[in-house]
A = this chain, B = another copy of it.
Amino acid sequence: MSEKIRINLKSDNEERKIEIKRDGNLLEALRENDVYIDAVCGGLGKCGKCRVFVDGKEYLACQIKVDEIRDNAIIEIPRDVDINLNSKNKAKILSESKIELEYDFSPIIKVVKVNLSKPKVNSKIADLDSLKNSLKDYLPISVDYELLSEIPKKIREFDWEFYALLGEEEKGNVLLGLYKERPEPLGVVVDIGTTTIVAQLIEISSKDIVMTISDTNRQVRFGEDVHSRMMYANEVLETSNCKDRYPLTTLVRAQINELVNDLLKGAKNQPIACIFVSGNTVMTQFLHGITTKYLMEEPWVPAATEFPVRFSNEFSIGCVNGRVPIYSSPCRSAYVGGDVISDIVASGMHRRNELSILIDVGTNGEVVLGNSDWLMCASTSAGPAFEGGEVKYGMRATEGAIERVRAKLVNNKVEFSISTIGNKPARGLCGSGMIELVAELFRLGIIDKAGNFSDTCQSVRKNNGEYEIPIIGDISIFDSDLKNIIRTKGALFAGIVTLLSSAGCKMDDVEKIYIAGGFGNYLDYRRGVLIGLLPDLPIEKFRYIGNGSIAGSRCMLLSKHARDDASKIVKSMENIELSYSNVFREEYNAALFLPHTDMGKFPNFERFMRELSEER
């Protein structure tokens, strides 16, 4: 019996033949062929996300053995299942930061013109000494042994005049290369989100964004949230005899390698000179190959706040020329990571006198409060609902995601009008779609304050013992989805209130609210207020900063001022552990309603209800 079987794989109206190993289950076999089907539960058969049709019959890919599949079987992946077929599904991310660079230009990568005097018998100096003397503003300078071996030859080939490419290190700089002509170095900034990894190519001298791409974080198959991934990582590290004791590290490095490789297409022979990474603390420690065990245990201590500069070769990122430095945005605590520090840097809230709030609606939901004098932060563990997790037809903001929802009641039945990203056939709901959907259902009285479906609406139907409302095609919103969305928005709102309370401030004192996250651009903020996700403050106080993690990384790549700010922020910002806060517990319970138990916090609620109804 052959060790492999052939299958016909159908997805998105495409079909291709691949060979898969007879071992193990179909989910694993497909992954070995670079077909990544998201399985939130890590292949335990619990999440039901990896549905496939084998010769027309539905299975969970993680539950069917390849052995049970006939040769030449037709395997169909339904349209609503999230897959990642090679790089095919990598979409341009759809929200670009609106933040302009407020910092001075002092990039982490420098190009320096060098003019050496040609040695003579009676006045000579060793090549490296001569080079270092000419770069004395950048000392100490470290030189990789491979590069050092080329220096004598290169400086003579270049006839003692050339350009040196330098990268910042903790002290001094690392020499990255010598060039006859002035190089135009590129930097790659990477946001390692728990759910999505975004990578962006920057031309350093012009500050131009050359290209942005994104991809589902492949670690998703080991759990949708950071906690289940840490559990898995720890289990492998402590009990398994696998050769690779850091599989999540290997995975994220390989994925960054692949993304950088894709970005290389935009590089036009310019050298990629560095990679600057922001991620939450768990993602950052996975990247650096550090156990996350102690992030799970009280008192939740991170391995580092400022992570050492690493090099591409150490992380098996081989797609760049030679050996380029990998910088990491610093992390404040176990659950307020480098992505939030980047958000703050991008927002500039730490440089202004006015009291500001920053909300990062990512998988964890972090909240920051403060101004140029002080900052405090907390992670709300809000959950991944707005990024597509814990919601049956949830998905991230890529093509085919419903991003806008309008609804009306006709004869006690809901009629939806939706729009999707890229105007593609609807595949699911992204964060903004969910907020709009819940706001519309609530506005129309189809769900009540507690998120329960109304008895009277005829669109509500029972499916597998649960209530749902169909939206379009197969896509529905379920009772349990609503509860998850409410929990998520409740945690975020409670986080805001708790920080205000800790600081002795009132909501009205807040002069700016920065919202970071993939959905920011599509959201009508009134609908966010209506469901109690956003505080009810005047619209002019809101600023969408889009992917603040990427924008902040870009600031740090381009400005020493921004890097110094980040370093100061992690040293001075107060971190509040919400799990120990009674205020948070009470506020969370109070926020598990639409919009809130305390309607006094939402003075414009009625006006927004009216306005939105009149807008149709």
Contact = CB atoms under 8 A, between A and B. Distances in A.
B303 A145 contact: no
A99 interface: no
A539 interface: no
A293 B152 contact: yes
Contact of A121 (B119, B153, B299): B299
Contacts of A300: 121, 124
A33 to B, nearest CB: 30
A314 B299 CA distance: 38
Interface stretch (A304-312, A490-498, A585-593): A304-312
Contacts of A290: 148-149, 151-152
Interface string A594-610: 00000000000000000
Interface stretch (A89-97, A126-134, A340-348): A126-134
Interface string A280-293: 00000000111101
Nearest to A302: B126
Given A145-B289, A171-B171, A298-B121, A305 B152 contact: no
Contacts of A170: 140, 142
B293 A129 contact: no
Give the one of A152, A288, A299 with max B CB within 10 A: A152
A305 B140 contact: no
A288 B147 CA distance: 11
A301 interface: yes
A143 B149 CA distance: 24
B301 A126 contact: yes
A152 B299 contact: no
Interface string A138-171: 0010110110110111001000000000000011
Q: How large is the interface on A (under 10, 10 to 19, 20 to 34, 35 or more residues)?
A: 35 or more
A303 B152 contact: yes
Contacts of A314: 145
A124 B302 CA distance: 9
Contacts of A291: 149, 152-153
A265 interface: no
Contacts of A305: 126, 128-129
Given A291-B152, A314-B145, A127 B171 contact: no
A471 B284 CA distance: 73
A172 to B, nearest CB: 7
A59 interface: no
Nearest to A315: B145
A567 to B, nearest CB: 12
13 contacts: A120-B299, A121-B298, A121-B580, A125-B301, A127-B301, A127-B303, A128-B304, A128-B306, A129-B305, A143-B308, A146-B289, A151-B290, A153-B293
List 4 A-B pairs, minimum CB-CB distance, nearest first: A128-B304, A121-B299, A126-B305, A126-B302
